[in-house]
Structure 1
Amino acid sequence: MRLGSPGILLLLLGALQATDIQEKEVRALVGSDVELSCVFPGSQTFDLNDLYVYWQISVVGGPKTVVTYYLSGNSSAGHKDNRYRDRARLSLERMTRGDFSLRLYNITPQDEQKFHCLVFRKSLELKEILDVVVTLHVAANYSMPVVSAPSSASEDKELTFTCTSMNGYPRPNVFWINRTDDSVLDGTLQNNTVSLNARGLYDVFSVLTIPWTPSASVGCCIENVLLHQNLTATPTQAETFTGTEHGITESQADPPKKQGAVLSALLVLGVVVVVAVATGWVCRSRCPPRDPRRSQAARPEQTFFDRV
């Protein structure tokens, strides 16, 4: 049987059943490179003219799509899906040693798929010798949350805080925290908007509305489960507000107290200087001068680590 195109071979792949499927999982950051392992067990060499190698993905409810392939007699691997052209590569030299791993470059969120590696030998009547499924999980770090505090209380005495974080993956969990005791606030108090941007990454905008309180201290937490990462932020110092019975006012230092503190600090500094000068005068009048030779002798020898 002569198989000259990947389409003909794909028809056969649907009729073949794997006897021993290996399953693996790999994680990769967006924009990075990753290798999907597909290695024949044991030490064995292979003739490229005797191999059919396929890497493909299958969408749930849809047909299989070839990522890249190698057919017996070809000088290089081919590509069926344009999304992976110049991004998916096989090593012919490594395949002769039984390593059929796929190298993927510049990972995108759309690469989060199950990749199927199939290897056949022509001399064994197209017998399947390797069947590996690699699940690729894709992640991206979210930006540090930016939290804004209210500038004034609303008429119904509610406080509204906003939290923004962008360009992360996968979809995050969003929590608001009471910084007084680090407890998680009731999720019904927040309204989250999570949307995909042009890069296929998630942007988050969360609004927290809480009853008026004399002093509100909250934080916004963005959790990336795949990366085991929590990013927590609070309103910046310039946006920290303290409640009063008349509403919310920006926290400011009391100018008179601040001036008094500065004067006290200058007074203490002056006393220290006077004491230091007096101590130096007493030392010069009572302490004998140092012998330079004595100081040289007392200096420890340079250790091995010092010389290194």
Structure 2
Amino acid sequence: MEEQLPKMTLAFPLLVLFAVVFIPQCVGEGSIIGIIGEAAILPCELTFMTPVSIKDINFEWRAEGDIVDAFVKGHHELTHQEKQYRNRTELFITELSPRNLSLKVSHISPDDRKVYECWFFIDEDRNGYLDKWLLKVAGHYSEPLIKGPAKIDLRNRDADFTCAATGGYPEPKVHWFINQKMVLPQSNRIKTTIKNISSEEYAVKSVLTINMTDDTSVYCTVENELLKEERKSPDIQYLIKTKNEQQRGDRRHWWIAVIVAVALLVIIVVIAMAVFRSRNNSASSGSSCDRTQQQGRREQEQNPLQPINAED
């Protein structure tokens, strides 16, 4: 036992060093979200401590057993690439960065939702994956459009509000808010319809029915849980008058009408009096002028002009 101890002591560090230097290590395993129509990058990096030459590197990306992209002895190898990924992949490995084995997939679509593995090959007996990623696919929804009924007297009536959005992926959730308070999604006042417009996008339409008993502010949101994104519609506000308020308003309108009518009547009376006085003044001035003229004629008749004597 004493003679074997030194051998065991030397062998253990060598095994550890071999494992660190030559055996690939899994450095990441998780999920990445790719946006429909855009590109997604799946990271993968060699973690070996020894120098690496690009000519000695062999690796490939796989998805459910299919070859997505490959690199063999310094060359990009596409012979066995799956048709789905042709002209859509890109590798980042170069002589200056031989440890970067990341993969770029362009023009993401829902069909790309798979588990992708980055495999590194040392030889036939030693191989494995460095990274393993689940590529999730999502799309942004448009800003919700909200519509309400015409702004007539809605007091104590049911009113329908409609919320709509398109272009997103996967299926969304619609939330309604009345006076800043969320309406429970399972409420029987809400009817939501989701349609698959194409393989890459959904359209959602939700209708909320409210009994209008008070002033009401309504808006909706469309949530994409995968993107942790929630888009909000504009607010719609309706002011509902109570019966007392309406009666007060009616009385106020009645008094205004009375005041206007009285004012018009006063104006008419004032104008009529002014016209009457003006006519009286004209008539009186005309009669006095006639009397003066008649008196003058009588005086002339009574006192005719006398001839003037030369002696005078």
Normalised by the size of structure 1, how large is the TM-score?
0.60
1:164 to 1:176, Cα distance in 2 relative to 1, 3 A: same
Deviation at 1:218, TM superposition (A): 1.1
8 Å Cα contact 1:221/1:232 also seen in 2: yes
Q: Which position in structure 1 is the counterpart of 2:213? A: 213
Q: Which position in structure 2 is the counterpart of 1:56? A: 62
CA distance in 2, matches of 1:140, 1:149: 27
Deviation at 1:208, TM superposition (A): 0.8
CA distance in 1, matches of 2:111, 2:96: 27
Deviation at 1:107, TM superposition (A): 2.1
Deviation at 1:94, TM superposition (A): 5.8
Q: Which amino acid aligns with 1:173?
A: K
Deviation at 1:198, TM superposition (A): 2.0
8 Å Cα contact 1:153/1:212 also seen in 2: no
1:76 to 1:231, Cα distance in 2 relative to 1, 3 A: same
Deviation at 1:219, TM superposition (A): 0.7
Percent same amino acid among aligned pairs? 24
8 Å Cα contact 2:114/2:136 also seen in 1: yes
CA distance in 2, matches of 1:75, 1:225: 38
1:198 to 1:55, Cα distance in 2 relative to 1, 3 A: same
| CA RMSD in angstroms, aligned pairs only | 3.2
1:167 to 1:95, Cα distance in 2 relative to 1, 3 A: farther
CA distance in 2, matches of 1:234, 1:80: 48
Write out aligned runs for 1:123-142 (5 A).
124-128=123-127, 130-142=129-141
1:20 to 1:28, Cα distance in 2 relative to 1, 3 A: closer
Greater gyration radius: 2
Deviation at 1:92, TM superposition (A): 4.7
Q: Which amino acid aligns with 2:83?
A: N
CA distance in 2, matches of 1:163, 1:75: 50
1:79 to 1:142, Cα distance in 2 relative to 1, 3 A: farther
Deviation at 1:210, TM superposition (A): 2.2
Write out aligned runs for 1:96-175 (5 A).
97-121=98-122, 124-128=123-127, 130-151=129-150, 157-175=157-175
Q: Which position in structure 2 is the counterpart of 1:288? A: none
CA distance in 2, matches of 1:109, 1:165: 19
Q: Which amino acid aligns with 2:41?
A: E
Write out aligned runs for 1:1-308 (5 A).
20=26, 22-47=28-53, 50-58=56-64, 64-72=65-73, 76-78=77-79, 80-93=81-94, 97-121=98-122, 124-128=123-127, 130-151=129-150, 157-178=157-178, 180=179, 182-187=180-185, 188=187, 189-198=189-198, 200-234=200-234, 241-243=238-240
CA distance in 2, matches of 1:125, 1:201: 44
Q: Which position in structure 2 is the counterpart of 1:274? A: none
Give ranges in structure 2 of 5+ residues lacking alignment. Answer: 1-23, 244-252, 254-312
Count of aligned pairs between the two proteins: 217
SS at match of 1:197: strand
Deviation at 1:79, TM superposition (A): 5.1
CA distance in 2, matches of 1:147, 1:102: 42
1:116 to 1:199, Cα distance in 2 relative to 1, 3 A: same
Give ranges in structure 1 of 5+ residues lacking alignment. Answer: 1-17, 59-63, 247-255, 257-308
Deviation at 1:205, TM superposition (A): 0.8
